[in-house]
Structure 1
């Protein structure tokens, strides 16, 4: 079977918060769909005002305008709001600099990768670099003696530092070039200084520092090595992850302290420790089994205690309650607007979003833990490769299959059984079930609350990825060898899990090609991989349902991604092997034979998967459904497919697609041997 390799974890804790793919492209369409276009020109003019109060007002107004409004964000981008705000980072007035950083932060979070790339290309790192030592100095003064620190120290330590840290976190996910540039700044001591002072600072800023460090230590050796090698850093992270410190209310700011923020911080520190593990002695963290002693006990309660349907319902109630204050009133120059002025409903909506993002992060970390598949095979040495390349394409590469067994990857020992799965699988199955706010309406309209929709859909996708890793990890050949179900409960678990995944996919719907429906499409593409893993584990137990088979066939036919086609074929192959489902077997096998009949129209990997599937389905001539093979004349169809498959395999580049070439040679050899075997049976 085609195996799911360890997928490099997407690091963005807050992917595009307000998706705008449902909107038509171009500034004209953005102008037509924005209700605030008249406010943009005055804001841009006041950005250049000689009056610092007006410049500050303009920076704050940008944050107000873009909130949950991608159309207006696009219009502001067209007016070079990014370049203008970066210029304001060098403003002579400190308050203008702080507000400009806040607007840039919000643009990063709401706009995603494109805006971050624009910021990097417009050299935002130059002013940001100068802020790090300034914030560090004021932080030191503030921690030593808050009374002698500068008057604005608290604002700089909390709000401004939070903005700068968040911008750097977002930029680090933009490109390797941006990440490498940020690596050179030396951020680790700066970020750890916030985490190390957890008992004296606000949780919001500390959490931002942890989020940035989590991103920077993920698959980024310069930063992860720096954290790993410092025993004080890892001990600090371990203490926070374990919850060793009591929740406290720094500086009387009790309103900032919440279980949500504490939980988010613990989850982040757990993720950082996993990113930098294994941790060497003499750190106290070196003695901890990160996965089993820290991650599972910390994260399972996080994903088990949330009800997405209840959150969705509460968000809808808050939207209905929210006062419809005219936007221009918020922008009145009478009393400069405050960037943190939010209604109770807005504050609760943010809290709910923060809670969902914590759940998303927890699932992302568990996805990494669940990726227990072996690493890809090591490179073949040059001399062996050269010897392979010298072989005759037509004849003696038939003999290469004889060496296949020597190249089988070592597989991990099975350390889980179906009966052990419910602890993690059950909460994940709950997290994949869509709510009314999980996706934008299929008619192309925007979500009633885009941040909630973005968070919910991200959780569904992360949970599916985690399930995908769990089931495909358990479905490796070594794991399956000699597998038997220890109890009736184990046998019954498969159909229940199968039904739960199908229930989620049915709720998502098949209308995935419209504007803004990319997340629905992602759910199906990952979901069919989950189905394949379940089908392998409970092969012969799952009954092929006509409607489900038809959906898989249609998805396989319509999918443009060969990997999705392979997953569909692999799932159908397993369903076809339910002993009593002869009609279901016939439906599936006829589709697979039709793929082999049109090799020029089917991509290479799905074609090989179809041939391999038919061999596996009919490898036992005593199976009840073997009658379908005989009555359908499949021996003749497979005989006719031998030469086209040989031709396809010869066309696979031996150097560029080594794994696929090896897989093709294996299928080709198996097909030839299978045809000879079935002929010899004379059935």
Structure 2
């Protein structure tokens, strides 16, 4: 019988123990010699006092970029996992977790992925069970000095969990399956003696964990006490209230995407908006009084500026969730299928389906914001459809009512330019919230008379958004492209929601023409090989471009009953863009054609004869058609499948549109 082979691995040197080559940069080499190596040597010393002192020092030093990179180069993560986090000294262990927390905060997401692969979750579970959530010695029975140590450890662990949760969905899934950690987080929220800062960190962690996480949302709702606890916390105040709203919104959103729905009564965003609006108003007042820097002595979590950003972010997300719920209730929006060969009146109806006139009485009464409960319920019956469950309809009607009537005015207040000037982060988040609200309302079909009351309110708000938020930015001729893009998106949504019936100041429509020309200098997606999984993102880049949004605004402003001169100016502008094919980008061509189809969809429009026919738009479009066909063939379906599909559709519809206009004219 042969001998078993000798295990040669024992004779191999430990690769992690190999000495690290010093950096070639003289400055980094000096830092390594003077700061990094000595403190790492102390961290692994047999002297407990040295280890503890070194761990505390490193926790502070790693915030410096150069030092942090050098520590990572010297494999500090391995030292922490193998030695420091399991040290006999509690002070050393706590400092070690502080180092790990700071590394995760400062480094990119891939660092957290690396920690996850190094089984950091097992170490976290051990810390929770043995120290923080110990059954042998509860925190409340420890001396004050030891309680402070435990809370320091808790803060580091919870913050680390938040960083891990924000890094990767696989990590979120793994954490969600660890009942020890989920119980630990809710235990902190229910523990009266837990410091407020710790509870705030626990809420931030739960917000990260519950985003797009159906399994965890269902698990939390099954624990009735947890959901009730979150509802109670959202009625508190400050950061804790807003953060609780964020967690609840994530849970409600996940439950709404479940076809089986939820049995939790009143579980909808409708219960969150009053608190969010109250917080927005209070935080905005405090921020305005304190100037652009809203901290004024508050912590990063509790500063009015931070609270205001969070409230706006959650409001924006609620608007998007509501839009998705409305679309789900009514069925997916019917896609425009072009101009068929049916009778003229049927084709005309198809073209103008989304361009029905607003109720005249609604326009005249737009300043009256009052709605009875019966009117609200009637509105939502039409918006949501008759096949919805009564309780579900009630939830969505309350959310829509509060989003338009209560939240929108508060967001306008923050989004408009002011002397006190909110921080750029707050301004950006306010514009995002306003954008989402406007696009949600633009998805509602106001052609039914049952919606006149809701339409009245929105008509006044739409003009207010234009006057207080959009016009000031247009008049400033801002060079900030990000701001211009955000404002143009809002303008497009507002115009869509009221079918272009906006009172303009002077030549504001020309501002969007100028913005379009300015947008041509902005870089566009490069023509380079794109993996299939990235193709959709590339399409998003095309259709979210500033130029496309400018065309969208102009097209809505030119709709009937726009003045003939304004319509002619916009029509000529669009035709000029089309004549520039192939230099004109494909996404611009698609949007320009779609706007033309809508603008000149009916011969009864006042500008049809004096603009479309007198300016020979039909001849121009006939010349454009072969150019569009040729352009379509140049678009690679693998790189931009959506762009190619929409160009093909636009080409088909252009041919049908020309045929329709000729039959309408009788030529």
Matched, 1:367 2:316: yes
Q: For 2:269, what is the secondary structure of its paired residue?
A: helix
Q: How does 1:620-639 map to 2 (within 5 A)?
A: 620-621=602-603, 623-626=605-608, 627-639=610-622
The residue aligned with 2:182 is: 188
Whether the aligned pair in 2 keeps the contact of 1:579 and 1:624 (CA below 8 Å) is yes
Quote the offset at 1:363 in angstroms. 2.4
Q: For 2:99, what is the secondary structure of its paired residue?
A: helix
Q: For 2:283, what is the secondary structure of its paired residue?
A: coil
Matched, 1:168 2:164: no
Could you tell me which of 506, 511, 514 is aligned with 1:550?
A: 514
Distance, in Å, in 2 between the alignment partners of 1:620 and 1:118 is 61
Quote the offset at 1:295 in angstroms. 0.5
Quote the offset at 1:40 in angstroms. 9.0
The residue aligned with 2:575 is: 593
Quote the offset at 1:613 in angstroms. 0.8
The residue aligned with 2:97 is: 101
Q: How does 1:367-386 map to 2 (within 5 A)?
A: 367-371=316-320, 372-374=322-324
The residue aligned with 2:461 is: 493
The residue aligned with 1:674 is: 657
Q: How does 1:79-228 map to 2 (within 5 A)?
A: 85-86=80-81, 88-111=84-107, 113-135=109-131, 137-138=133-134, 141-142=137-138, 146-147=140-141, 149=142, 153-186=146-179, 187-197=181-191, 199-228=192-221
Whether the aligned pair in 1 keeps the contact of 2:133 and 2:184 (CA below 8 Å) is no
Q: How does 1:462-473 map to 2 (within 5 A)?
A: 462-473=429-440
Q: For 2:553, what is the secondary structure of its paired residue?
A: helix
Quote the offset at 1:160 in angstroms. 0.7
* CA separation of 1:430 and 1:90: change in aligned 2, threshold 3 A: farther
The residue aligned with 2:375 is: none
Q: For 1:638, what is the secondary structure of its paired residue?
A: helix
Could you tell me which of 264, 286, 295 is aligned with 1:286?
A: 264
Quote the offset at 1:497 in angstroms. 0.5
Distance, in Å, in 1 between the alignment partners of 2:171 and 2:217 is 17
Whether the aligned pair in 2 keeps the contact of 1:188 and 1:227 (CA below 8 Å) is no
Whether the aligned pair in 1 keeps the contact of 2:62 and 2:68 (CA below 8 Å) is yes
Whether the aligned pair in 1 keeps the contact of 2:188 and 2:194 (CA below 8 Å) is yes
* CA separation of 1:663 and 1:580: change in aligned 2, threshold 3 A: closer
Whether the aligned pair in 1 keeps the contact of 2:319 and 2:403 (CA below 8 Å) is no
Distance, in Å, in 1 between the alignment partners of 2:502 and 2:215 is 49
Distance, in Å, in 1 between the alignment partners of 2:460 and 2:383 is 27
* CA separation of 1:28 and 1:554: change in aligned 2, threshold 3 A: farther
Could you tell me which of 281, 284, 295 is aligned with 1:304?
A: 281
Q: How does 1:277-356 map to 2 (within 5 A)?
A: 277=255, 286-292=264-270, 294-307=271-284, 310=287, 313-314=290-291, 348-351=297-300, 354-356=303-305
The residue aligned with 1:19 is: none
Whether the aligned pair in 2 keeps the contact of 1:267 and 1:358 (CA below 8 Å) is no
Distance, in Å, in 2 between the alignment partners of 1:127 and 1:241 is 32
* CA separation of 1:613 and 1:288: change in aligned 2, threshold 3 A: same
* CA separation of 1:628 and 1:201: change in aligned 2, threshold 3 A: same
Quote the offset at 1:167 in angstroms. 0.6
Q: How does 1:25-40 map to 2 (within 5 A)?
A: none
Q: Which moved more, 1:364-373 or 1:523-532?
A: 523-532
Quote the offset at 1:101 in angstroms. 1.6
Quote the offset at 1:411 in angstroms. 6.9
Matched, 1:569 2:565: no
Matched, 1:532 2:532: no
Q: TM-score, normalised by structure 1?
A: 0.68
Deviations along 1:575-598, one digit per CA (max 9) or x if unpaired, are 233756555444433442233234
Distance, in Å, in 1 between the alignment partners of 2:515 and 2:66 is 36
Gaps of at least 5 residues in structure 2 are 1-22, 330-337, 355-381, 386-395, 525-540
Whether the aligned pair in 2 keeps the contact of 1:210 and 1:265 (CA below 8 Å) is yes
Distance, in Å, in 1 between the alignment partners of 2:176 and 2:646 is 40
Distance, in Å, in 2 between the alignment partners of 1:81 and 1:486 is 60
Larger Rg: 2
Q: Which moved more, 1:172-181 or 1:51-60?
A: 51-60
Deviations along 1:391-446, one digit per CA (max 9) or x if unpaired, are xxxxx99899x9998xx9997459599998352122212333578998xxxxxxxx
Q: For 1:577, what is the secondary structure of its paired residue?
A: coil
Q: For 1:286, what is the secondary structure of its paired residue?
A: coil
Quote the offset at 1:214 in angstroms. 2.1
Distance, in Å, in 1 between the alignment partners of 2:318 and 2:662 is 47
Whether the aligned pair in 2 keeps the contact of 1:274 and 1:290 (CA below 8 Å) is yes
Deviations along 1:486-514, one digit per CA (max 9) or x if unpaired, are 898764533320233336756998555xx
Please tell me the root mean square deviation across aligned C-alpha atoms, in Å: 4.8
Q: Which moved more, 1:644-653 or 1:624-633?
A: 644-653
